[in-house]
Amino acid sequence: MKRNLKRNLIEWKNSEVRKPLLLQGARQVGKTYLVHDFGKSEYDNYVYLNFEKDIELRSFFQGNLNPEFIINNLNLYFGRTIDPNKTLIFFDEIQSAPEAITALKYFYEDAPQYHLIAAGSLLGVSVGKQSSFPVGKVTFMTMYPMTFDEYLVAIDEEMLKAQISDPEKLINIPEVIHDRLTRHFKLYLYLGGMPEVLQSFIDNNDIAKARKIQDDILKAYERDFSKYADARQAINTTEFWNSIPYQLAKENKKFKYSDVRKNARASTFELAIEWLKKAGLMNPSYNISVPKLPLGGYTNHSAFKVYLHDTGLLGAMLGLTSDNIVLPGKLYEEYNGAFIENFVACELSAAGFQPLYYWTSKSDAEVDFVLQIDNEIYPVEVKSGKSKNLKSLRSYADKYKPRVIIRASPRPYTAIKDFVNIPIYAVGLIKNSRIVEV
């Protein structure tokens, strides 16, 4: 499956100041597949090491972390000479070999000619535990589940992707194309962006098989909670994780610890929150009191919402049935628009808006997302239905006078004075400043 992040990998390859690359992301989002594809298509040679599968490889990094010593051992192991200018070296499941993480520092300092990528399950969690992590010596990239435009490419709808990737085409999109994109979008909300789920559906056209894979992924995540945490933290993480879908289903989606466990306090779940963030399993959105730059300077970290990293897994956790895909409007309305708002959070995160922010006023007005694009701040209201109500956006506009206010809804693109409506399925295009020019 084609992934947008491959373009970033090509830029990394061609960079004059290239550091070893650490590819982060939740389990099963397609990191290994992406690097395999990149290595085989962009290099003459490709060397793959899996530290979890081939345990003996860990010995290459014990005692001597000199890059040339390591490369010589790899030459002997693979029976060929690694040409630094023509070979990609991939350290997969690197969390299983902590010394290999440390070795990245010396590849940067002493052997920068080598093209080296590292990835692994729960790498963000493992990196947090590394006392000898090579700070400043590596480049980070984060991989997310497949976005809606990547999904369109996977199902051979590249022309539809082109329609929502170009602001000019989106602005003038015909109604028949809008309706077609909406149908695909509703199916995507159910399937989500986990590559194995999408590939199964493409191959078998079987919703039940896709849901089975989603359930299996969720079980694998829960096994990770106990594998990478002590017993008490594992229980807290599991409770917190299982509460997320039901917190989102509330009218007021602000996260409440008491909804996880009666009389619980923030301190009970601090480690669970940090673990899930580093594992890439959730996208938190923090309340800001005043929309000024930098947004992080006006953040209230005690008030936040939590979104799952994939709408398909959210549906699986809530037991969403497949009839919602075909019933008019039902998927938009179900669970107070939880799927729509969660989808927007996923698309914005993948587009580089991290962390996410939202705004509330004392008079109960709320804007779902507040985004910085270049040096401007834009409020974004998410509507799961076709309501034209702009009360919260107008309340925000009256206070802060933004150049443009944005609504993301099932309606086609429109722009009137200071107001822009972006179709939900194209919300990832918001980062392109041309789409908010009115």
Specify the higher pLDDT residue, 287 or 129. Answer: 287
Percent of the chain at pLDDT > 70 equals 95
The pLDDT of residue 81? 96
pLDDT band at 290 (very low <50, low <70, confident <90, very high): very high
* Per-residue pLDDT at 255 exceeds 60: yes
Find the mean pLDDT for residues 213-226.
95
- What's the topology of domain 5-143? Rossmann fold (3.40.50)
* Per-residue pLDDT at 219 exceeds 90: yes
Which H or E element spans position 414? strand 414-416
Distance CA 256, CA 246 (A): 11
Torsion 291-385-333-183 (CA) sign: negative
Q: DSSP for 173-220? A: --HHHHHHHHHHHHHHHHH-S-HHHHHHHHHH--HHHHHHHHHHHHHH
User: Quick check: helix, strand or coil at residue 36?
Assistant: helix
The pLDDT of residue 134? 79
**Cα 7 vs. chain centroid, distance in angstroms?**
17
For 389-420, write each residue's pLDDT tens digit: 788 999 999 999 999 999 999 999 999 889 99
Are 147 and 31 in contact, with CB atoms under 8 Å apart?
A: no
For 74-108, write each residue's pLDDT tens digit: 999 999 999 999 999 999 999 889 999 999 999 99
Find the mean pLDDT for residues 208-232.
92
b/e burial code for range 226-235 (CB count within 10 A of at least 16 → b): eebbeeebbe
Find the mean pLDDT for residues 54-68.
92
For 342-386, write each residue's pLDDT tens digit: 999 999 999 999 999 999 988 778 999 999 988 899 999 999 887
The pLDDT of residue 323? 84
Q: For the chain, give every residue range classified as CATH 3.40.50.300.
A: 5-143
Find the mean pLDDT for residues 170-182.
93
Residue with tokens 């994109």: 181
Find the mean pLDDT for residues 130-152.
88
pLDDT band at 310 (very low <50, low <70, confident <90, very high): very high
The pLDDT of residue 365? 87
Q: DSSP for 325-359? A: GTSTTHHHHGGGGHHHHHHHHHHHHHTT--SEEEE
* Per-residue pLDDT at 387 exceeds 80: no
The pLDDT of residue 52? 92
Find the mean pLDDT for residues 223-235.
86
The pLDDT of residue 328? 63
For 22-40, write each residue's pLDDT tens digit: 999 999 999 999 999 999 9
pLDDT band at 135 (very low <50, low <70, confident <90, very high): confident
Distance CA 143, CA 146 (A): 9
Size of the chain in residues: 438
- List of residues 6+ apart from 67 with CB closer than 8 A: 103, 106, 107, 110, 111, 114
The pLDDT of residue 63? 83
